[in-house]
């Protein structure tokens, strides 16, 4: 479910009157994304996505997200571009929520990741990092290393209900990750996506049937952090098979295509295993927090935290960068 706010047609027409988009042709809720309400919007000027930002997004951070998307799209990255109203503003209000219209991107996200998806993904991630240069706003990563211990504390009361001994294991693993984490300034930083899961990446098929990346969406976890951490997020999100095994062919394709556009330094390659452990514990902790704080009857899909415990354990045993395809 990704429509939390129903927009009346009168409110929508009044909202659209502030844009130069022509008449309304179609408007359908989209069943994707979990944080915000998303609508597919068609006007006389074309197709767009209307997003109403719900309570999990801090309105104060929206100018960063929208500004970054506009900056990246302006440099040729295939990501949504905020559409400005007649008064120049892209961030507006609708039904009491912050709201924005962005361009529509063609493509289909891969429900089943194939090795051929990984090189286009790696290349696009490197282009995203390059395109982010010159966007001067800094947004610290709220779900970065400094946020993990408080998240774990929030799971302490009920976390062991998910798996016996889980909290003790996470205490130990988190301490090891934080001890090995790169020192500030040791690795290149920049604007990162930080949540580049398959459902945030669209592909079209080339004439020969090979996937061509057509869009990167959902920049609402984007932040300013280690560029190589974004690679580690993708290794977590794209390179494990449904049976839990790590597909090193996918990992090599991802890292190889990334490095062909933005070379990884020796220090970045050496840090990738701990960055992967960090990314694994980040998704484990947010899922565990949601799992232990969401009433079982709530109208949201709870994602399995233990999927990321298995990934964390895998990366904990992968001491060299080669073992993870780097």
Between the alpha carbon of residue 30 and those of residues 2, 102, 232, the distances in Å are 6, 14, 29
Contact of 62 with 213, CB cutoff 8 Å: no
What binding mask, one character per residue, do residues 121-160 give for its own copies by CB under 8 A, x or -? ----------------------------------------
- For its own copies, the closer of residues 113 and 272 by Cβ is 113
- For residue 111, state whether it binds its own copies (rule: CB under 8 A): yes
Supply the minimum distance, in Å, between the C-beta of residue 280 and its own copies. 24
- For its own copies, the closer of residues 13 and 156 by Cβ is 13
Kind plus residue range of the DSSP H or E element containing 39? strand 37-43
> Residue from 9, 87, 208, 266 that binds its own copies (CB under 8 A)?
9
> Residue from 14, 17, 20, 26 that binds its own copies (CB under 8 A)?
26
Sequence length of the chain is 326
Cα dihedral sign, 165-169-170-172:
positive
Q: CA 268, 144, 217: angle at the middle one, nearest 5?
A: 85
**Total number of residues binding its own copies (CB under 8 A)?**
39
- For residue 107, state whether it binds its own copies (rule: CB under 8 A): yes
Contact of 227 with 259, CB cutoff 8 Å: no
Q: Mention every residue, 6+ apart, whose C-beta is less than 8 A from residue 43.
A: 16, 21, 22, 23, 24, 25
Q: Give the end-to-end CA distance of the chain in Å, rounded to a whole number.
A: 37
- For its own copies, the closer of residues 104 and 181 by Cβ is 104
Supply the minimum distance, in Å, between the C-beta of residue 232 and its own copies. 25
> Residue from 14, 17, 20, 25 that binds its own copies (CB under 8 A)?
25
d(CA 219, CA 90): 15
Contact of 254 with 231, CB cutoff 8 Å: yes
Of the candidate spans 187-195, 198-206, 235-243, 254-262, the one that interacts with its own copies by CB under 8 A turns out to be: 198-206
- For residue 184, state whether it binds its own copies (rule: CB under 8 A): no
- For its own copies, the closer of residues 182 and 211 by Cβ is 211
Q: Using CB under 8 A, list all residues that contact its own copies.
A: 1-3, 6-10, 12-13, 23-32, 40, 42, 104, 106-108, 110-112, 202-205, 295-299, 301
């Amino acid at each position: 479910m990704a429509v939390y706010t129903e927009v009346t047609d009168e409110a929508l027409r009044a909202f659209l009157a502030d844009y130069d988009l022509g008449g309304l042709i179609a408007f359908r809720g989209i069943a994707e994304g979990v944080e915000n309400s998303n609508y597919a919007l068609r006007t006389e000027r074309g197709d767009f996505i209307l997003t109403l930002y719900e309570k999990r997004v801090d309105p104060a951070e929206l100018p960063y997200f929208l500004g970054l998307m506009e900056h990246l799209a302006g440099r040729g990255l295939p990501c949504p571009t905020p559409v400005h109203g007649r008064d120049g503003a892209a961030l507006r209000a609708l039904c009491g929520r912050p709201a924005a219209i962005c361009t529509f991107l063609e493509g289909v996200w891969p429900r089943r990741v194939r090795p051929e998806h990984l090189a286009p993904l790696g290349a696009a991630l490197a282009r995203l990092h390059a395109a982010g240069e010159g966007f001067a706003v800094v947004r610290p990563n709220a779900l970065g290393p400094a946020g993990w211990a408080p998240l774990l504390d929030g799971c302490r009361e009920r976390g062991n209900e998910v798996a016996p001994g889980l909290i003790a294991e996470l205490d130990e693993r988190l301490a090891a990750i934080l001890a090995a984490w790169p020192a500030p300034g040791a690795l290149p930083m920049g604007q990162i996506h930080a949540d580049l899961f398959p459902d945030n990446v669209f592909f079209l098929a080339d004439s020969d049937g090979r996937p061509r990346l057509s869009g990167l969406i959902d920049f609402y976890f984007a932040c300013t952090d280690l560029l190589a951490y974004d690679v580690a997020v993708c290794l977590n999100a794209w390179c494990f098979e449904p049976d839990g095994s790590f597909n090193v062919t996918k990992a090599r394709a991802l890292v190889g295509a990334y490095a062909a556009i933005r070379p990884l330094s020796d220090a970045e390659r050496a840090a990738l295993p701990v960055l992967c452990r960090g990314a694994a514990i980040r998704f484990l902790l947010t899922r565990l927090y949601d799992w232990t704080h969401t009433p079982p009857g709530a109208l949201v899909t709870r994602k399995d935290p233990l999927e990321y415990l298995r990934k964390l354990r895998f990366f904990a045993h992968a001491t060299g960068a080669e073992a993870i395809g780097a």
